Amino acid sequence: MNDPNAQHNHSGLPIWPADQPDVYFDDVEMVITIDGSWSESSYYDVEIISMSTLDTELSTRVTSTNSTIDVSSLAEDSYKIIITSSIGNTYQGVFTDGVPGKK
């Protein structure tokens, strides 16, 4: 995940916001785990957008405590995931998902 508005300190290393979650994609179980249990965010709004059609395929709100999102129904495609914290910071990444021939 990255923050498109990340600020950098003088050392050249980014300063990570206190609300950035850890995000994991399990391509076997077909779930995305969002863990912000340590963060200052109380929830995250999540959008998953198809890179080929630019359609929003999934939009949901999850708690910051180790939430999972089932993505097994998504067609084979590349997707952008956009996560917005309750504080208003946005993080995004890209993943490939889906079962061939679905949808």
Q: Is the residue at 14 inside a domain? A: no
The CATH number assigned to the domain holding 52 equals: 2.60.40.3080
pTM as predicted: 0.80
Band the pLDDT of 24: cuts 50, 70, 90.
Answer: very high
- By residue range, what is the domain housing residue 69? 22-97
- Could you tell me if residue 77 is inside a domain? yes
**What are 29-77's pLDDT values in tens digits?**
999 999 999 899 999 999 999 999 999 999 999 999 899 999 999 999 9
Q: What is the rounded distance in angstroms from the CA atom of residue 78 to the CA atom of residue 14?
A: 27
pLDDT of residue 38: 87
The reported pLDDT for the residue numbered 17 is 82
| Structural domains counted in the chain | 1
Residue 80 lies in a domain: yes
